[in-house]
Structure formats: structure tokens, C-alpha cells
Amino acid sequence: MLRVGLTGGIGAGKSTVAARLAEHGAVLIDADRIAREVVEPGTEGLAELVAAFGEDVLGPDGALDRAALAAKAFTGEESRLRLNAIVHPRIRDRTVELMAQVAPDAIVVHDVPLLVEGGMAPNYHLVLVVDAEEDVRIRRLVESRGMAEADARARIAAQASREQRLAAADVWLDNSGTRGIVLAQVDALWADRLVPFEANVRLRKPRPPRSPHLVEHDDTWPAQAERALARVRLAAGDKLVRADHIGSTAVPGLVAKDVLDLQLTVSTLDDADAISDALADAGFIRAEGGWFDFPQDGGAAPEHLWHKRFHHNADPARMVNLHVRSVRGPAWRLALLFRDWLRANPGEVAAYTEEKRRLARAHAEDGTTEGYALEKQAWVDAGFTRAEEWAARTGWSADGP
């Protein structure tokens, strides 16, 4: 099952996107609909609301009068928390129940207006944000819902900002234009990304090899990495020691393959094996075979301490390498040292860039990155020596200054 979180500000046109995804075959779970369902007449949820806020939150027909409830529940923090304590667990439980009913090969779209505000993004394989220019949203609210302009602006201001949604978005759909434009984007998203993504997760498909292709540094790489790391941390649970963005995409100004390198540090590789399935379910598929880092200590540490586990992301549009290392071995620290040393030394970044470009040209026709990576290791090994000298001079440690 692929879990897609769908959100967007009021008036952005999220329902248009949700309906199109449902037409393609997505299972749509609507948080607003569930919120109404759990307080319908005759439910325990409605009975608790009445007990907490009084009979006057009911309309003449015995159904919840939402305006009357809002007038009481949003007068202060205590009353708001009381409302949330009644409603939120019921919404959560019903959502879990619906998720459990879907087919194993389903693409589930969870339509959640307050996904960003609730910090829910790590729960999904992909977060899809629908947006539109503020003036467009206001016009839609005034024309289609009959809102006063001042009310529309107030509702927009009360929700997550554009910047907050951007930080959470794996896919950003601008719905400021015509309906046909956004529907075409949704159609392409479904065919090119969501369908293969679901199959990759369910079937645990290996990632096909690719030739080394370098691109200029992308300033959005750190934000993309942080979204992936949040999912890794959630999947790792209590086995997590730390999780970090490492490698070339973590170094400003350094050319890189458009592949995010992440590091998950755990206590032991037994712990890494224990969470292997959880990581795969979250979209990070374990690669078969034995994986290890090149020893850098002249044999001081036992060979097994250089072993690791390797996972890759199942998302066809966002390549991720996840290195799972034991805190008992030396490699997790070296990965952080190498990153921080490069960040602090622009001259080394320039030299490493030149070497990477040379090797990428030499291996452009290989059809795989294996030869490129093996040849690059010589520069990296020498870089580790210079990085250790820098660490000794500056007092660097993996835990920060």
C-alpha cells in the first residue's frame, strides 16, 4: 500500500485533485468526512461533546450545530483541548480502521486539510500539496462559497503559511490556472510516479543501475533530505541513535549525482536487521548482498565493524541512498567528518568537484556508477586523512562543537 498525504489551503482546489486521483483508482480517505461521521447523531462522540459543552451545541434536529460548538470550544486553550481530546482519537481510530480495509496494492490518498499544521507528513510515502495564488483562492471562496472577502482572508491567514507547506511538500501542484492544467499534472503524477512507486514498495523492487551524471548543487536538497529523514526516524523507532544528511548533496557548492545520501545510525547491525521491514514499508528498500565501507584505520578495528546495511528509496522520482551503520563502528563518524570538513574548506570542495567531473566523463558510458565510485575512492581516502588533521586542529566532534 502506498500512502499519499493530500493537503492544501482553503480555496486552493484540493477537492479537484482528490476527485481526479479517485477517478484513477486511488482509495480516498477524507479527514473532514470522518470528522463529521464520528459526531453524527447517536454516536458516542456527539454524546461526549454534549456532556462537555452543553445541550445547546445541538440543532433542532438533534445534529451537531458546528457554529454553536465553535463559539464555545474556541474561546480558550482549555476548551479547545477538551474538544480535541474528544474528537481526535475517534478520527484517528476510524482512519486506521479504513486504512486496514484497503487492498495490499492500493494507493491511498488521505485528504487532510491540517496535515502540515498537525506535523503528519512523515506518516506518508509522499505528501502532495495543492496551492494557488492568494487572490485566486479569495476569489474562489467569495464566488463559490459566498464568503465575505474579509472572512476569506482571515481563514487563509489562520492556516499554515505557503513556506510551511513548501517545506512539507514532496509534490507541489499550482492550481492557480485552469482546471485542465492541474488535471493534466495529476494524470502524469499518477502514471509516472504513484503507480510505479506503489509497485516498488509492494514488490521490494531493486533499483535499476544508472550512469554517473553530475548536476550543480540544488539548494532544495537539504529540505528534501529532511523530509526523507523524518520518515526514516519514524520507521526506525526506538532503534534510532541518529539520522543525518551526508554525502555530496549535503555540501553547498559541490556538484553531485541527484541522489540524496542519508545515514541512519543504530546501536548494532542486529538492530538494523530488526527494522529492515519497517524501513521497506516506509519506502526504503533493503539492497541484497553484503555491504561494507572501505576501512580507513589500517586494520585497527575488526573488519566486521566496517559492515553496514544499504537501503534505497522506492520513489522513482526521488533517488535516495540510505546507509545504515552501527554506532560501534568507525564509519558513521567518518561520514559526518567528511561532510563537515568539506563544508568548512571551499578549496577542498573545488578540488573534489574537479575530480568528480573528470571521473564522470571517464565513466559516462558505463551504464552504472560502480567504476566511477571505485575510482573516486582514492580521492576520498586521501580526503579522510586531511579531514582527520582538520578535526584535530579545530576540535571537531560528531556531536558538534
Whether 248 has a binding-site annotation, put simply, is: no
Residues 6+ apart with CB under 8 A from 152: 10, 11, 137, 138, 141, 142
What residues are paired with 266 via a beta bridge? 240, 326
Whether 12 has a binding-site annotation, put simply, is: yes
Crossing angle, helix 331-344 and helix 370-394, to 10 degrees?
Answer: 80
Looking at residue 277, its amino acid is: D
Distances (CA, A) of 171 to 121, 126, 220, 315: 12, 8, 13, 12
Task: Give the DSSP per-residue string, 252-315.
Answer: TT--EES-EEEEEEES-HHHHHHTHHHHHHTTEEEPPS-EEPPP-STT-S-GGGGEEEEEEE--
Whether 16 has a binding-site annotation, put simply, is: yes
CA atoms within 13 A on the CB side of 345: 19
Whether 13 has a binding-site annotation, put simply, is: yes
Q: How far is CA 150 from the centre of its chain?
A: 34
Q: How far apart are CA 364 and CA 128, in angstroms?
A: 34
Whether 382 has a binding-site annotation, put simply, is: no
Q: How far apart are CA 209 and CA 195, in angstroms?
A: 20
Whether 161 has a binding-site annotation, put simply, is: no
Place of cell 480502521: 97
* Closest by Cα among 24, 88, 16, 400 to 244: 400
At 236, list the grid cell. Answer: 526506525
Q: How far apart are CA 19 and CA 120, in angstroms?
A: 22
Residue positions in the annotated binding site?
A: 11-16
Annotated binding site for ATP: 11-16
